[in-house]
A and B are shown apart, each in its own frame.
Chain A
Amino acid sequence: MRRRWLVIVAGVALWPSVICGQTEFRYVNQSTGPNQFALGFPPPIPRQSSTPLDGFRSYESLHARHQDLMLQHEFISGQVVGASRLGAPIWAYVIGDTDTDTRNAGPEPSILINGGIHAREWGTPELTTGLLEAAVAGAGDGWLWDYLIETLHFTVLPVNNIDGFRQTQRFPTQVLVGADPRFPDRWPRDGRMRRKNLRDADEMLSTYGDHLNGVDLNRNFDPFWGGDPRTSNPIDLVYRGPAPFSEPESQALLAAAELARPDRLRWYQDTHSFTQVILSVNTFNTRRNVLQTRLATTFSEFHNALSVSRHGTQRRYPNSPSQPGSGIGVTTEYFAYTYEIPSWTLEIEPQQTAAEYGGLGTEHDGFILPDSEVRRLRDDMALTHAVVAYQQSGPPSVAAVSIRDEHNAEVYDRRWTYTGPGERTLVAGANAPLVAGLPYSLEITFDKPMRWMGASGATNAPGIAVDLHPRVRLLDENDEVLLELDSSTGQWLDGSSGQSVAQWRFDRWRLDFVISPDQLPAPRGIVRLEIQCADFTGQALDANPATVVDWSDGEWSGYENSAGVPGLSGGADRSLNLRVAATAAEARRWLLADPPEPPERAALIPPDPGP
């Protein structure tokens, strides 16, 4: 009798799973029985710690961390940009100083990074949180992070799909298998493997009727909402929702874009896992596509070299652009087409499976990064994102040039000063002729830190080779080269004793030089100073600092090449002129005669021909 009752009770308990054909599986380290997915490493469990550790933090811990950093640091601000379907406030944070302008280039550019849109992709909230943490750790470096804080409006939405993320953390090892419409026998759904939000779904794993519900927030966006026919099925993994932007989490991302100052946006990233690839969106704007490819290349090459140098492991992120005019409703399409900015989905590691970390390669284990890999991912990715942000903050330009004689007296001084929207004016100071045979010291100041900070000073950034020193030449009025200074003895200044910088380490370069009488150009007198240099991501100079580089209609504006023609690649700055005399007596004669100010090259550069 008692046994019969037990059978009935067990039958009732199993009833929902029987009728829905669903079975609870668990992720385990090594298999010990049926209905298990053996990972080959301990299944990560979210930890209650707001400070970073070797593993994953709970959502509540991450949120406390964000709020704590925001409260403590002037350069991190935050705002509620919406609420999840279950009512959790969705926050976005901005890394940046409190003003809205850069020092010498007008309004700050902006970028937006979204994380945690797919619930099960636990690496992404750690990555986005790592950006805030890296900014705090890097602030005061007088270099990269200080530059970004001063120059950029860097917006991070760390966890977009809060309800879903919490659901996966509520069941960190449990999933249901058996009812997915496409792969009923294989695909684990809900619990640890929930991807969608919680529309029409509750937070319990034991209620089988609703666990396939929810909206894939990354199919809920225009302009290609509904572009994939599978997305119409409400129980499909990629259900698009009843209408574009129907979900409160999608609305929150739109609000985060407003916080990011949409008219200043230059880069959008939606952060996902896995497959270790950049899935970029190509639009019909081929020039935007070119710049996007360059940016993605920097991401991949830098990150790979960083990983090799730190861990001995290659980690390239190939770029796979979409076909213009097609899409499936993902967020990156919205940002690419709406704002004409580089826009991509970052799929973090692994490439295929956790077998890459020694795991057993079980079903869907690519979504489960082992605890032991989390810190590395977080730290390396933060630096990579900083470098990409640095590149997209804009190409470099010459901010000032000064020359001092052997007595440290300034004989030549030119500075570009921001005077209004899109414009700078050249402010001329000392303008004495240089004299052949006498020693001088040239200092060129740029508007961003130009070199990577290595253990022993200025060097190349990992994976990105540029000439370490600028190339400095004197040209005649026909732009023929008269002589080239030996820049190999030049030095990037790092702000240490006797090495003053303008704003950041390595924004100034010094070269001691002598123009020998043998090298003296003929005809003697006015020569053009040509400066060639690229920042540490390889972006060449804006050849004409008079027009401030900005982002407009999907490309750089005001970014002139050596001939003064706006384009995508910049060139050599030939905007400044010098006078060189053969002897001191000649120089004195010129000064006594008070010749007119030599015309600056900027005035000779043809005006922007316009589109």
Chain B
Amino acid sequence: MYRPTGIGWLCAVLLIGSAQAADAPRVAASCPGPVCLEPARFARLLDTASTPALVPPSGLQRSRERADAAVDEVRLNAWLDQLALRGTLAADEREALVRLRDAAPVIWIRHPDHPGYWAPAFAIAARANALLLRDQRLKAVVRMLEDPLALDDAFNAAQSDDDRATLIESAIERGDAAFRQRVDERIAVMAPGRLRDRLRLARARVAPDAAGEVAALVLGAETGIARAALMLAIDRGGAVLQQAAQAAASRPALGGLVVTAHRVSGGDPEQLWTWLESPELGADAARALAEDRPDLLEQVSRRYPIASPLARLRMQLAVRLSGAPDAEALISELTGLAGHRDGSKSVSAAERKR
């Protein structure tokens, strides 16, 4: 049973009582909630009332008293903080959260960048909803882990692919080796497509050696999933990165991550010069050259005359990004357009169109 301490009640009531007089908003009509607090008052209320341990879920009846409601809301928020740190919910907690899904904000505070705009101090309803959804998902995951039929259901469910993938991904993350083996068997017979690739990626995340699988995803999955696979490889390094970087090199549509993978995997620096004329990879290649090549200006001077128009632009970009003291002078020299406004428009539009 929720029983605030006597001092807590006293402070809260005095606090809110005085807040009603002193915190009357300057734009009274725009204060949309029952309790509008200035920052100092709000801070004091937080100090006074943030005691989540005093809020067992059975005591979540919202008071009609403004003071009680404000204190309740602070404590509810602290209670939600605690729930967020845990996994599953007890039945009474779940019931309490269901009741909170429609909770209207009680305390409103001024927007820090616009004193006339009041915003809810807490997002009790949204948080309660999110916790319930997480709980629902966790329960489904637990069912999947314990019951192969539930896993089959998840694979065959009529939900959207993204919802199904999210559920099964969570199960993959939590499941043991046997469970993952069951998942693998189902993935193996799935039709190719986005859902299958997402699950393959989820499996790769928990597999100790997934170099081949990650590389395959980088090579063949839709760009969003392929990029995610490449990011996994970059984060993990080692053999996974080596293979993924190689695969990515043939897929410039994945963009700058391809260059990053190449760079951190210790790929051939000469490749960066080749990529300068790639629309998707050139800017990142230029940046890599700017950061990695101490002899950049010398190299650019040598390569510029024989480079394609786009590669020339990227060489200018590399020189510019290098921040070298004589960068602008070199660009002017290379382009023969010294004195141009900022040195950037040094190649004609016709030249740019390859």
Contact = CB atoms under 8 A, between A and B. Distances in A.
Interface residues of B, number: 61
A320 B117 contact: yes
B134 interface: yes
A64 B345 contact: no
A279 B39 contact: no
Contacts of B283: 50-51, 64-65, 67-68
B231 interface: yes
A64 B114 contact: no
B75 interface: no
Contacts of A107: none
Given A64-B321, A228-B115, A360-B134, A31 B85 contact: yes
Interface residues of chain A: helix, strand, loop or mixed (majority): loop
A400 B130 CA distance: 57
A59 to B, nearest CB: 12
A80 B342 CA distance: 9
A67 B134 contact: no
Interface stretch (B51-59, B121-129, B239-247): B121-129
A182 interface: yes
B256 A353 contact: no
B34 interface: no
Given A358-B133, A361-B123, A183 B114 contact: no
Nearest to A48: B260
Contact of B39 (A31, A77, A182, A358): A182
19 contacts: A31-B86, A40-B130, A50-B256, A51-B256, A61-B287, A77-B341, A79-B341, A182-B43, A186-B46, A230-B39, A272-B113, A275-B119, A322-B116, A330-B113, A353-B126, A355-B126, A355-B129, A360-B134, A361-B123
B113 A218 contact: yes
Most A CB within 10 A of own CB, among B117, B280, B282: B117
Interface of A: 30-31, 36, 38, 40, 47-54, 60-61, 63-65, 67-68, 70-74, 77-80, 182-183, 185-186, 218, 228, 230, 237-238, 272, 275, 277, 279, 320-323, 326, 328, 330, 345, 347, 352-353, 355-356, 358-363
A47 B201 CA distance: 19
B191 interface: no
Contact of B119 (A321, A352, A360): A352
Given A61-B284, A72-B313, A361-B80, A51 B255 contact: yes
Contacts of B86: 31
Contacts of A64: 283-284, 286-287, 317, 321
A360 B127 CA distance: 6
A345 B113 contact: yes
Nearest to B129: A355
Given A64-B317, A78-B344, A355-B129, 14 more contacts: A31-B85, A40-B130, A49-B256, A53-B227, A60-B287, A67-B320, A71-B344, A77-B344, A80-B342, A228-B115, A272-B113, A345-B113, A361-B123, A363-B81
A335 B224 CA distance: 40
Contacts of A183: 43, 46
A238 B131 CA distance: 32
